[in-house]
Every structure is written in C-alpha cells, then in structure tokens.
Homo-oligomer: A and B are copies of this chain.
Amino acid sequence: MTYLAKPKFHHPRLPRNALGLTRRDYEGTMSTLCAGCGHDSVSAAIVEACFELDLPAHKVAKMSGIGCSSKTPTYFLSRSHGFNSVHGRMPSVATGANLANSELKYIGVSGDGDSASIGLGQFAHAVRRQVDMLYVVENNGTYGLTKGQFSATNDRVSVGRKGQRNAFDAIDLAVLAIQLGASFVARGFSGDKEQLVPMMKAALSHKGFALIDVISPCVTFNNHTGSTKSFEFVRDREHSVVETDYVPLREEIVASYAEGTVIEVELHDRGRVRLRKLDAAYDPTDAAGAVRHIMERQEEGEVVTGLLYLDTGDSELKEKLEMVETPLNALGEAELRPGAAALERINASLR
C-alpha cells in the first residue's frame, strides 16, 4: 500500500503549500449542514488532501448529485467549478466532463441514496468504464435531506442491535465496485482524519476510477435503528417535548485507531459501529480475496476500513477509447473541421 503514505506532520508556522497557497484557499462557503454532520468532516478531509497534494484548485471539478452530501461541494474548493446535477445522475455528468477535458481532476461527491438507490446503474457503469475520478460516497445509511428514510446501503450502525435487523439485504458499494472492476476501492470513516486524508490523497493520485466509501454518520436522523418508525421510538425515550424538527447541536464524532485493530465508535443515538482497520499484511490486489474478507468480517459485524482493493494495471476510460492526449475541449476548428474539399469528396461518393 505504498500509496498510503503517513500524513505529513503540519508545522503550525508553515501554513503554505508548494503553490504558496494556504488551507483557506481550498475552503468553500460556510456549510449549512447540521452541526456535527459527518459530511463536514469529509469536506475538511478533501480540503486537507488537496492542500497537501499542492493541487491547483481551479484544475479540479466538483461533481455531485442531490442530497445533504451532494450539497457539500459548495463547502470546499470555492475556486473550482462545480456541478450539482440531478439525483443519482452525477456519474454520467462526470463521465461527460471527463471526456471533454482529461486535464482536470474530478471529485464526485454522492450519498448512499444518491448512489445505491436511484443512481446504482450509473454508479456501476461509471466504475465499469474506469472514469478517471475520485468518487466519494458519504454513506450515512439514510436519506438525510428528505428527513431520514432508510437507504439501501449497509446499515452498519444497527449491527449487533437486537431485533432491529433491516428486512432488506444492504448493498455494499465497495464490494460492488470491486466486482465491477474499479481500480481503487477504499473505505473510511468521517471521524478518522488520519486514515481519510492519506486515503484521499492516494485516490486523487490514482489514474482511473477510485471509490472511497466514507461512513459519515447523520447526527439528526438515527434511522439506522430500523425504518422511520424507530424515529418515534427513539423520540419517546427522549424528553417528551423534543419535536421532530428539533435538531440538537452535536459534536463531530472522531475516532483514531491503529492498523489491524478494531474500534467501537459510539454514535449520537447511542448506536455503535465497529470499525476494523486493515493491517499491512492485507493484500489489496486480490479482488476475490478482498470480497471474501469484507464479507467474512461483515458476518462478524465488523466494517473493514482502509484500502480494500487496488489495481494499477487497468487503463482508464480515455485510454480505452484511444483518445488523443490533448483534451477534446482544447481542439480547435482547424483540428476538428474537415475542409470543403473533404466534403466535396463525400458528395462525390454519394452520386
């Protein structure tokens, strides 16, 4: 896992990167998400990763669908163009943008509803096409923006809880991506910057489709305890005047643990998630092995985090389509338009 360099130690007195930019230059407008939302931590990690990688912000394009998660691109890299498309369809828009200009870096931000439900087809095919981008799923197991319906992704938080198993099998986007041939598949936790930032840097440095499935708890809708009904259930246990529109100010959940160890993180609704960080022994180049490992740990109620799968051999979309080096949007009339003579020859062939 040479990609996963340990995060640099940040000397407080040297807040500028090689481009002479500070972290501020990589930030966005003020977040309007709930206080303590995991998504804000992910945005912060993206800012940090881009800063540390000395990325020219304007050479990054931010793509997203619809959802709290998909709102976040406004909260980082304000110098980058962004495209908040429609629900579940970011992958296709990102693919098109990618074809038009291969010189930009593409960061796609999506949610579990956006990618595992309405967008599953587009997600799968973007993976299959090896679109060169970092695809971040801010996975909270719920539909935040529409107020807490159950999503189709693995309801990690409910693991171990009695009698509250989700009737439907969950979709593990990381496993799916490995199956579909993604060349970089990792899983992180919004509260674990030490792991997340290097992971993002690795993904941004990777050529091809890189998925990071970030477990990013929704502090407001603790739906992961099973269907919207549980919402009332939880509410009743709180002080009776708490109303559905009351959102307590929460602290960001942080977790720090070593490779190869398991940590149990308590969430705001007293739910728990058990994270297992891969150790150095793990071989991320064996797809079938990776899938098996994830599935087995899952049986144990553990969520494996780290770089799950890496394939540096496969080629990205531009290669597969045998496109010229120059970005297509940089080709001028001269290169693109055959002359009148060529047209005359075609006319002649049609007589």
Contacts and interface: CB of A to CB of B under 8 A. Distances in A.
A288 B119 CA distance: 25
Interface in A159-189: 167-169, 171-172, 175-176, 179-181
Contacts of A117: 121, 125
Interface in A245-266: none
Interface string A104-135: 00000000000001111100110011100000
Nearest to A298: B288
Contacts of A168: 128-130, 320
Interface of A: 117-121, 124-125, 128-130, 152, 167-169, 171-172, 175-176, 179-181, 287-289, 291-292, 295-296, 314, 320-321
A278 to B, nearest CB: 17
- Secondary structure type dominating chain A contacts: helix
Contacts of A288: 291-292, 295-296
Count of this chain's copies in the oligomeric assembly: 2
Nearest to A321: B167
Contacts of A287: 295
A282 to B, nearest CB: 16
B120 A125 contact: yes
A58 to B, nearest CB: 31
Q: Which 3 A-B pairs have the closest CB atoms?
A: A169-B181, A121-B121, A167-B320
A287 B119 CA distance: 25
Nearest to A168: B128
A291 B125 CA distance: 20
B129 A120 contact: no
B180 A169 contact: yes
28 contacts: A117-B121, A117-B125, A118-B121, A120-B120, A120-B124, A121-B121, A124-B171, A128-B152, A128-B168, A128-B169, A128-B171, A130-B168, A130-B169, A167-B320, A167-B321, A169-B181, A169-B314, A171-B180, A172-B179, A176-B179, A179-B179, A179-B291, A287-B295, A288-B291, A288-B292, A288-B295, A288-B296, A289-B292
B179 A175 contact: yes
A152 B169 CA distance: 25
A296 B168 CA distance: 29
A22 to B, nearest CB: 41
A103 B336 CA distance: 61
Given A169-B181, A287-B295, 9 more contacts: A120-B120, A128-B169, A167-B321, A172-B179, A179-B291, A288-B291, A288-B292, A288-B295, A291-B291
Contacts of A129: 168
A180 B171 CA distance: 6
Contacts of A296: 288
A111 B276 CA distance: 40
A336 to B, nearest CB: 22
Contacts of A119: 121
Contacts of A130: 168-169
A321 B129 CA distance: 37
A168 to B, nearest CB: 6
